[in-house]
């Protein structure tokens, strides 16, 4: 089974690869960017800005089209003398994995499962670090004592362990409802079992799994209706869920994510024998649904006195 690792990366300027005692040359990076919709394009653009801050002028952008050929991709990377590849989104990751280990690959902007990734791929998964998630939740909603989560064992087991370790020091009880198959019916059954318990204002439901695709909208609607009716805190890994009605969701700092991906590329080049690993997101803000907060009797401004509060079209952001 794969593992998630915590990365502590140095604060670096322009990436440099030291090749000898008195010489240093800038690292040449390539970033693979899937051609996608406007909303996702903005996310990728912010991530690339962060990568650029670390890479300086030595960054090759490759926009992947549906007909992008592997041979043409390899040729372009070779012509640009690329040292490492940063792959964004699942299309980027799949294309980079086909390079067969020719170059170090750092993956990001996708939900990554260490157990199924190519052995040579490092990266940052689109899942929030459980330590960060629970500490941010505890600071914003200190009345919560119990947190419940449903997840597919095949893709979340490693972070599930981290969550259990993080809950105790915060004085939280963490209740897990793992499902053995990624089917919507199995998840719905698990959620029905969870909601059958006597939940109150001291309980919160953490939407941490990747169930909420198109078919998962049924589950999301079901949970939102229950949480509103029973005044239960519902929070999510997906920023889009804040607009839908969860109390808050975790909003990644996409530019900072780009910086961390570039730093990981440098680390791979400086330590080529180090075992690749996948890290969770740690640089996140809370995207708060004001209407839901008011319904729950939560004063957002009063509770945000220890953080910076910004107004956005979809709600408030607490840094």
67 and 216 housed in the same domain: no
**From the CA atom positions of the chain, what is the Rg in Å?**
21
Task: Label residue 166 by pLDDT band (50, 70, 90).
Answer: very high
216-245: per-residue pLDDT in tens?
Answer: 788 999 999 999 999 999 999 999 999 999
255-309: per-residue pLDDT in tens?
Answer: 999 999 999 999 999 999 988 899 999 999 999 999 999 999 998 877 776 566 6
Task: Label residue 153 by pLDDT band (50, 70, 90).
Answer: confident
161 and 28 housed in the same domain: no
103 and 171 housed in the same domain: no
Answer whether residue 172 is part of any domain: yes
Question: What is the number of domains present in the chain?
Answer: 2
59-102: per-residue pLDDT in tens?
Answer: 999 999 887 889 999 999 999 999 999 999 999 999 999 998 88
Rounded to two decimals, the pTM is 0.89
176 and 297 housed in the same domain: yes
Answer whether residue 100 is part of any domain: yes
DSSP string, the chain: ---B--------SS-EEEEETTEEEEPPEEEEEE---HHHHHHHHHHHHHHHHHHTT-EEEEEE-TT--HHHHHHHHHHTT-SEEEEEHHHHHHHHHTTTTSS-EEEESS---TTTS-TTEEEEEEEE-HHHHHHHHHHH-TT--EEEEEEEHHHHHHHHHHHHHHHGGGT-EEEEEEESS--HHHHHHHHHHHHTS---TTEEEEE-SS--SSTTHHHHHHHHHHHHHHT-EEEES-THHHHHT-SEEEEE-HHHHHHHHHHHHHHHHH-TTSPP-EEEE--EEEEE-HHHHHHTT--HHHHTTTS-EEEETTEEEE-
118 and 179 housed in the same domain: no
149 and 290 housed in the same domain: yes
What domain range includes position 310? 130-251+284-318
CATH number of the domain encompassing residue 169: 3.40.50.2300
Task: Label residue 2 by pLDDT band (50, 70, 90).
Answer: low
259 and 200 housed in the same domain: no
Answer whether residue 27 is part of any domain: yes
- pLDDT beyond 50 at 18: no
184 and 226 housed in the same domain: yes
58 and 120 housed in the same domain: yes
Task: Label residue 311 by pLDDT band (50, 70, 90).
Answer: low
Q: Residue 244 CA to chain centroid, in angstroms?
A: 19
97 and 28 housed in the same domain: yes
Q: What is the pLDDT of residue 183?
A: 85
Please tell me which residue, 200 or 156, carries the higher pLDDT value. Answer: 200
- pLDDT beyond 90 at 155: no
Question: Which structure tokens are listed for 102?
Answer: 């020719």
154 and 218 housed in the same domain: yes
The answer to which of 25-34, 66-75, 196-205, 299-308 has the lowest mean pLDDT is 299-308
Task: Label residue 3 by pLDDT band (50, 70, 90).
Answer: low
Question: Which structure tokens are listed for 301?
Answer: 């401004």
Answer whether residue 259 is part of any domain: yes
- pLDDT beyond 60 at 11: no
Q: What is the pLDDT of residue 301?
A: 79
Q: What is the pLDDT of residue 16?
A: 53
Q: What is the pLDDT of residue 302?
A: 78
């Amino acid at each position: 089974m794969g593992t998630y690792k915590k990365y502590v990366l140095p604060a670096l300027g322009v990436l440099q690869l030291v090749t000898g005692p008195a010489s240093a040359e800038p690292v040449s990076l390539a970033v693979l960017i899937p051609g996608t919709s406007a909303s996702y394009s903005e996310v990728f653009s912010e991530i690339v800005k962060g990568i650029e801050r670390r890479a300086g002028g030595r960054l090759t952008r490759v926009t992947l089209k549906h007909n992008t050929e592997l041979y043409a991709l390899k040729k372009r990377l070779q012509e640009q003398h690329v040292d490492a590849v940063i792959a964004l989104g699942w299309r980027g990751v799949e294309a980079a994995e086909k390079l067969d280990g020719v170059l170090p690959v750092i993956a990001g902007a996708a939900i990554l499962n260490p157990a199924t990734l190519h052995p040579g791929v490092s990266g940052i998964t689109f899942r929030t670090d459980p330590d960060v998630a629970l500490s941010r939740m505890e600071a914003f909603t200190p009345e919560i004592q119990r947190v419940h989560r449903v997840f597919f064992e095949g893709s979340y087991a490693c972070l599930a362990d981290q969550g259990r370790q993080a809950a105790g020091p915060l004085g939280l009880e963490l209740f897990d409802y793992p499902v053995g198959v990624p089917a919507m019916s199995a998840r719905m059954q698990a959620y029905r079992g969870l909601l059958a318990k006597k939940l109150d204002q001291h309980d919160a439901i953490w939407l941490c799994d990747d169930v909420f695709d198109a078919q998962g909208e049924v589950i999301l609607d079901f949970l939102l209706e229950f949480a509103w009716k029973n005044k239960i805190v519902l929070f999510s890994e997906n920023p889009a869920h804040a607009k839908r009605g969860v109390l808050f969701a975790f909003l990644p700092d996409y530019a900072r994510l780009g910086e961390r991906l570039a730093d990981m590329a440098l680390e791979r080049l400086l330590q080529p024998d180090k075992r690749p690993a996948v890290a969770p997101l740690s640089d996140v803000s809370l995207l708060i649904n004001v209407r839901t907060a008011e319904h729950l009797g939560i004063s957002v401004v009063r509770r945000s006195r220890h953080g910076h509060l910004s107004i956005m079209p979809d709600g408030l952001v607490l840094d």
